Structure 1
Amino acid sequence: MAEKGDDQKMTDAMQIAARVRHARILKGLRMKDLAERVGYNESMISKIEAGKVTPSLVMLNRIVTALDRDLASFFGLDIDMHRMVLTAKERTVVEGDALRGGKGVSYERMVPLAAGNLLEANVHVVQPGGEKVDNITHQGEATGYVIEGQIELTIDGEVYHMQAGDSFFFKAHLPNSYRNTGDQVARVIWVNTPQIH
């Protein structure tokens, strides 16, 4: 019985971890930003998001409040849904990426952020002149398809000029970036192995 209790504690910690990380990213905050808002150090936020520390109710309430949420809505979304159908209007849109550099890029979430998901997928909407610079490398893979517009994609220093209908694939440990070199919005379906934080 004790082992089952430990398993439940681990599951609860991962649920909280995934929800905190999801809410923080949706808010466009880095771990450092959230830590400053709640008066904890960045290491503590990192441990909470990794599921290594389960915050007390008081600590969790401070974090949730700093993310402009309340505990009821924070736990209202079932992030363990095995399938989800979203219309174009229902997809969560994130302006910019707190973890990566760049400007003029928004992300339409195709897969909800949750612990245990094997894929991360977004539609990258890149304004003319918009760019993304990803200095965060990790194990895994990335693939994508340009739906419309054109981008200049750089993978490990090599530049590729891509337009609607072109696709790409690369190992996620390679540094990469892109920019919209055209005069119209570019849209790119981007799928990758999630980074373990």
Structure 2
Amino acid sequence: MPHKKTADDNAGAPANGANPDEETQKLGQRIRDLRLKAGMTLTDLAKATGVSIGTLSQLERGLVSPTVRTVYTVAAAFGVMPAWLIDPSSSKHAENRYIVRAGERSHLLDIDGIRKDVASPAASKRLRGFFMVIQPGCHSGTQPYSHKGEEIGFILSGALELQIEGETFTLHEGDCFAFPSDKPHRFANSSARPSTVFWVNADI
């Protein structure tokens, strides 16, 4: 018995007979894979997005390129980022904006026994977090310094001497500190082992 063509079988080809480009085909395949994984028919997806069945069918087969609106509505229907739908590798770029992995911190400085790595992601504009390692006997300088903003820190290991307005505090693993950055301050590690600190500067 011959198969009766339904709306979900709607097929077509570009009017000019041109071959679909590779990226458009890959995008269409991703849409199809997501739809099948979600257990949806083209009719279901059309209802969820407001995009016609015919257009969705052509998209899945890479015969047409989607509009920006279609990319966003289809991505929303599947619960994925629009950028991922266009280019799955972009998910790594998104991660880099919001996440800094332990082995991917950028080195800000490594001098005079003090290493300072940037620990905060690019999405943080007013807060900058740093992973710091201060070797025994090393310090920020003999004279206190000051600047605008606020700062807060957490001693991850070892000990740290923190001087604020001439008063010295000895901090140990698990201790936390905070102070306005315009207060003259300096720090030093007078212990026998390295001190590691998560230090945050706030630009306010």
TM-score, normalised by the number of residues in structure 2 = 0.48
TM-score, normalised by the number of residues in structure 1 = 0.49
RCO higher in 1 or 2 (8 Å CA, sep ≥ 6)? Answer: 1
Which one has the bigger strand percentage?
A: 1
